[in-house]
Amino acid sequence: MIEIKGFLETSFLDWPGKLCSVVFLPRCNFRCPYCHNHPLVFHPEQYAAIPLEVILPRLHSLRNWIDGVCFTGGEPTLHAGLPLLIREVKRKRFLVKLDTNGSNPQMLEDLIEGGAVDFVSMDVKAPLDPFRYSRSTGIAINLKPILESIEILKRGNVEYQFRMTVVPGLHQEEDMKTLANQLRVGQRFILQNFNPENPLDPSLKSIVPYDPKALRKIEREVQEMT
């Protein structure tokens, strides 16, 4: 079974319109310079493993409060045991949300087709060209699996959203509009503001995030690109 490295009992932020618990899984195959969960990626041994046998009773006690469980990371689809872990939670009749970077389209498709997930948030890092995507992920990127995952979600067999974390200097307004034009999913495309508190690249700590009101205005504009 996968080692669970974090458990948040209640969150209003991780699932649009729902109250959920959050399960954090270690490791990631991307090295996004603005990542704020990088200790979970590089040093998961710093965190004590939380047995599923501890989490399931807590979920049961929250049954009348939460709507479901969000699996995040790190990158959850790196773990071959993810379907089994989700199955254990689904057996308790909870809805399941998956956060993913879209790098494992086969697992994503299997989870959707098997009815294992009820909502997917895919982080799309930049406009869909190798140079800009590689710059945003910190590694050389093969876009083929990313594009496959986007198409899997756009089939509409599960509720989904695409999220872009925007970093001044790394992402311009034109990048947001380019990606929106490539995705063409309307309000399913969400812009997230960069958090400078603890980025993987320390030089980004001095970057001032986009003004929230200005970013919401851009978001409304890009969501009209359907």
- Distance in angstroms (rounded) separating the CA atoms of residues 94 and 20: 10
Pick the CATH number of 6-223 from 3.20.20.70, 3.40.30.10, 3.40.50.40, 3.40.50.2300: 3.20.20.70
Tokens, residue 158 = 């599960």
The pLDDT of residue 89 is 95
Q: Which tokens sit at 209?
A: 């995030």
Residues whose CB falls within 8 Å of the CB of residue 188, separated by 6 or more in sequence, listed in order: 160, 161, 162
Q: So what's the pLDDT on residue 41? A: 87
Q: What six digits make up the tokens of 198? A: 């603890």
CB atoms near residue 130 (< 10 Å): 12
What pLDDT does 225 receive?
A: 82
Tokens standing for residue 24? 């954090």
Show pLDDT as tens, one digit a residue, over the chain (226 residues): 789 999 999 999 999 999 999 999 999 999 999 999 999 888 999 999 999 999 999 999 999 999 999 999 999 999 999 999 999 999 999 999 999 999 999 999 999 999 999 999 999 999 999 999 999 999 999 999 999 999 999 999 999 999 999 999 999 999 999 999 999 999 999 999 999 999 999 999 999 999 999 999 999 999 998 7
CA–CA separation, 87 and 93 (whole Å)? 10
Beta strand segments in the chain, E: 6-11, 20-24, 68-72, 95-100, 119-123, 159-166, 189-193
For the chain, the distance separating the N- and C-terminal CA atoms, rounded to the nearest angstrom, is 41
